[in-house]
Amino acid sequence: MSLKPLAIPLMESGKALARGGEFIVDATSQEYQIYGGALSACGASIRNAGDSIAQAAASCRFKTGVELVIDELREAGTCLVEAEGKMRQAVEEADVVLKEEEIMKKMERGELILPMEFGRYLGTFKCYYKYRNQFVS
């Protein structure tokens, strides 16, 4: 049983997946200025999955590479499952930031008054909000 015919398509798809993961990592740092967040981790996991698929393609060229191919493809699947979890976390993080910004805008307009126990948290958030908007604007 030879896996040589699979080598080229697997290599191309692995490289494309890795490139897609790199685009996500680059977008988070350059466009969105989010460093070390869940979206960046998602991109890294996708890149790792692509690398594993490309490694599986390289192993297809050997007669004894079947176990290596299976192991690398399993690793790629694990990376993609991890990427899915990180993407869900990134969506939740984005929701929290949007909700907090909405709260701050309502507070600035005087539409929302919160109890005193929220003061310490909101004071910290207000500093973050102002700092973040200096770079976003």
Residue 64 is encoded by which pair of tokens?
């004894």
How far is 44 from 27, CA to CA, in rounded Å?
A: 12
Residue 112 is encoded by which pair of tokens?
């929302």
Q: Which residues of 113-132 are buried (b: 16+ CB within 10 A; e: fewer)?
A: eeeeeeeeeeeebeeebeee
Domain map of the chain by residue range? Answer: 4-136
Contact 77, 17 (CB under 8 A): no
Residue 1 is encoded by which pair of tokens?
């049983």
Q: List, for residues 12-48, the tens digit of each pLDDT value.
A: 999 999 999 999 888 887 776 667 788 889 999 999 9
Q: List, for residues 97-132, the tens digit of each pLDDT value.
A: 667 777 777 767 776 655 544 544 444 444 444 444
Contact 10, 18 (CB under 8 A): no
Spell out the residues 6+ positions from residue 25 whose beta carbon is closer than 8 angstroms to its own. Answer: 40, 43, 44, 47
Residue 117 is encoded by which pair of tokens?
């126990």
pTM to 2 decimals?
A: 0.70
